[in-house]
Amino acid sequence: MAQTFLLIAWISLLFLLLGIPSNSENPTTRKPQPFGFLNHLQGCKKGENLAGLRELKEYLNKFGYLNYNSSKAHDNDDFDDFLEAAMKTYQANYNLKITGTLDSETLSKMVMPRCGVPDVVNGTSSMTKKKNRHHGHHHHSRKKFHTVSHYSFFRGYPRWPVGKTHLTYWFDLGTTHPDAIPAFVGAFDKWTLYSQYFTFEETLDYENSDIKIGFERGEHGDGNSFDGQGGVIAHAFAPTDGRFHCDADEFWSLGAIAGYYDLETVALHEIGHLIGLGHSSIEDAIMYPSIPSGVVKDLHDDDVRGIKALYNI
């Protein structure tokens, strides 16, 4: 009898989870992944000209490793010095062997679904900047730690104003399934617990809300379009913008289910951006840029140290 009850409970939970994704397709029949074009470029290196390298440059431009605005020379299929330098920066950020080529290990990282927030802003790679510093002292903090920190901040260290510790959040109920809301609430609660600084509260007042959450598809008006299943799965903006968008084309779940992205895990990451954290190079940290499907993560010591350093907690 107990086994039958557990089976029924599990089936009921599964149906609940399947109600969260905005898209009605089966995750076993996924469309081609947005970053899948990288696969045929494996092994390419400086000096080569190969169809598709232009798209690799667009990928690296999107996440800050190249800057099209500074040089039109990047708009071709040549593996030039600029591309090699960008590849080396990417490899340093992700703790990979620095080869400057698209080797198999680098490729496996680049095709992973990820956050849409760039790793490099205005030519500054914050993911490696911290690693190159000595142990202990961190900018904007008088505290000293005896571990190497890998967290990062946005350029200019944007933060919520002093004394602004209670933030309100609003859901776009036209795009957000009711079953998804507990995942966001759980993520906010964890940041409250571990930061010992911020508190969060839902509001129905759109105009005066600090954080605005919704599920969007493709181009949705913020200059950071989504790309369908896989690829970029969510993004959020630095303080005090407050916008937080999930890709409605993804398969979302509450918990670890193969082929689905755990919504609370992704929300924890994006809330980190909303309160001022950049990306971390520690793979176990919630602020690591990539997240595979079927994985649940929690806040890491590096995430907590980062927010405490930023706000002098």
- Active-site entry in 48, 55, 202, 270: 270
> Which of 250, 222, 225 is CA-nearest to residue 238?
222
> Which residues are annotated binding-site positions for Zn(2+)?
115, 220, 222, 235, 245, 269, 273, 279, 287
Q: How far apart are CA 166 and CA 168, in angstroms?
A: 7
Q: How far apart are CA 244 and CA 171, in angstroms?
A: 10
> Which residues are annotated binding-site positions for Ca(2+)?
210, 227-228, 247, 250
Hey, what amino acid is at 281?
A: S
CA distances from 37 to 17, 42, 154, 249 (A): 30, 10, 29, 19
Task: Indicate the length of the chain as a whole number.
Answer: 313
Strand partners, 214: 245
Is 270 known to be catalytic? yes
How far does the chain reach from its first CA to its final CA, in angstroms? 52
Q: How far apart are CA 25 and CA 251, in angstroms?
A: 9
- Coil/strand/helix, residue 156: coil
Identify whether 124 is preceded by a cis peptide bond (ω within 30 of 0). Answer: no
Report the chain's C-alpha Rg in angstroms: 20
CA distances from 313 to 127, 197, 223 (A): 22, 7, 33
Residue 307 backbone dihedrals phi, psi, to 5 degrees = -70, -35
> Which residues are annotated binding-site positions?
115, 210, 220, 222, 227-228, 235, 245, 247, 250, 269, 273, 279, 287
Catalytic residues: 270
